[in-house]
Structure 1
Amino acid sequence: MYLWYRTAHICYAFLTDVPRTDNLTRRGSSFRTSRWFQCGWTLQELIAPELVVFVSKDWGIIGTKATLGALIEDITGIDRAILDHKTPLDKVSVAARMSWAANWETTRIEDQAYSLLGIFDIHMPMLYGEGSRAFSRLQEEILRRIPDQSIFAWTYHPVFTYDFPFPRPVTQTQREEEESHPELCVFPTLANQRSLLASEPSRFQHSRSITSIPHDDYLRRLGLPAGTNVPLHEYSNSAHGIRTELLIVPISDLVKYPPNTDAWHGWYLMVLPCESSECTGKGSLLARICCLSPGPGGRQLVQSGYVSLVESNGTYTLVHVLALSPRDLARFRALFHLSTVYIPHPERLCASAGRDAVTLPESDLRLTLSPWARAVLHGQGYDVTFESPPLEPRSYILTATSASVVFEVAFAFVPPPSADAGASAPAQGGGPRLEATARCLLRSPPAFHPQTTTFASLRSRQTALFSDMRFGVHTMRLTLEYSERGPGTAVQLGVEIIDVDLRVADG
């Protein structure tokens, strides 16, 4: 189809929702909001032809791709040089090309991938019924055909630039710089969609400015001479996933963590041969947050994650991809190492989500308060305690106290109903439930508000919301995320407190 459009003498785009009299430049105009610019299949109809004529719903000529180039670039985020065929597609990074499709929609989920085949010059079978597996197959084909690791630079949030403190101060100057650096803690978390491959094009919405750099330039920025044993990236399929080598650096060697915690083992920065024009400073490289865990036969499985960067003032930032400055690259050089890893096939990562719930004994279930939530609540004036009563090992009490309000939430794991006892059928998944009973005490004027809400069966790799609990002018929103950490099972709790005008006051 892409070739068909590419070789056409002229193509007409019939915009059925744009009148002839539309003011094109007006913000919110019918042209700007036309469904044509949201349909995934029309992306190649826009890029491939040399001449595109836009016509209104009454067949009046609106303009051409050339005459409306600046406006179309503003609507779609596609550089005008691409629209005018002055820059070939293979000069644009994979991440940037994916970003073009981030906000375009398709009726069938498979078409999210199939409508991009021409954009990447990929040939693969179209198998309707495979669902999201189509987009994974597309990315696997891209890995085999296009030497561009920007495919791993997808992110839910903008690329973050952080100037790391010295990990090991050795001089008086470095010690002074370390002491003056804003206090920052990093709390890594596995993403719900754990594969290094994105689950859909929308994951690339912040990747427009990302470019891939040549291998020799990559080595130079790392401070390694040309010919150093950092091979060109190659990928091979296996029953255990996609085998490759990644250049990584342990996060634990770079940042400070709260005391008495072992949750950070296995977390790394995956250094990519990519850069972002939105990051200041020449010579930087992008790095993705990832986690390495042991797999069958001692193989290292690499999964996607993110970190919460919490500053001393209580503010936090969620980061999937960050930029390493030349200064940091030089300081971390001795910590870089190549590791042979396996990128598990996405469907295998999520396979357990459809099975019955947590199979570990209830005694292994534990609830932890997200460290960033504790830090941010404290920064907003709440004293927070989270403890398990000694005589009730599967119960927890969260207390958040400020000058004006006291929140208390009691959590308890509730076993599934027993069919033998004549109880009704258990909730979907059949696992234990987590019940939350909340109380809110307003100090002025004095008022008391009780609430009870129940989260249904705990299912693996799931994030879920309780129903919002409203206490007068306050709303408490709770989220739960199941994860596997080491030999145990953790259900992580996130807390968000919202005031009456719906602005997030605390989180």
Structure 2
Amino acid sequence: RGETPLDARISSFARGGKIKAIPHDNVFRRLELTDLTAPEYTFTPHGIRTKLPVIPLSLALPQQPAEHDGKESHWYLVILGCEHDDYPGALLGQACVIPPSESGVEYLYQGLMAVMPIPQRGAVWPDIFALSPATIERYREHIQVKTVYISQPERTTPLSRDVLRRPHKTFNLVLLKETRDALRAQGYTAELQGPDEDHPTTYWLTLANDDQTITVEYQYTFEGDYNYRRWLRIKATVSILRPASGLAGGTEVEPSSVQWSDWCDPDGSWNASLLMEKVAFALPARQLTMQLSFDFAAPSHYFLRVEVV
């Protein structure tokens, strides 16, 4: 396990010719779930948010010992809105792992199983299963609809000039799971919030550990000029709050700011990445440096780059 379902490799679709999508009304009728709405995929700072019907994988396993990567209760079959030509009438189920999260942001990971002893027919390492109407009926009371997040993968291919020339309609910041994990390895929990009604052009990134809380406030503006250029300007203000020993509250270090600007016109394009900027703080124990930048993800969307050194 461990891979995002958003796989960019073409080879992953090589054997998908016999799989076809079925209408949502058909899926709704088969599952009889009142809280199963039409599929929606919302781009959020934590990844793509959606709701999926799932069955605990332990119910579908043979009644014999099984080994899992992680706790058994984290494994599920996601019921997909599609069928395979060789199994008409059966919905397909994808093995997946959904580790619980204290923050409520539960990520979906693709799962893989090994069948032992090796079967004479079928896959040794299956990840897709046909769920017959009888199987659905047998486990109907155990089917639940879960809200999950799908992490956007790192960009592996250069963005085309056509994509980079498209205008931004708004500005969305995304904190990749890879970035969040790297910060966690340094002892920081990371949370990205905003915008809200009172601050429609502001995001807040909070990094916290036992020694301090770092807040990065990102403010953006769009501007136009007489050359038909569309300007994007971003300002990041970094502040650090250190707990005061034996006292309520804490001591705030003087905030520091950095800025970026980029533009696009009918003959030009946005930059694929914005320059890495550094903000340094002289703390009592050591010097702390924040390295901040952005990668163009898609029109109106940027990946945050954050490093603490």
**TM-score normalised by the chain length of structure 2:** 0.46
Q: TM-score, normalised by structure 1?
A: 0.29
Query: Which has the greater radius of gyration?
Result: 1
Give the structure with the higher percent helix. Answer: 1
**Bigger share in strand:** 2
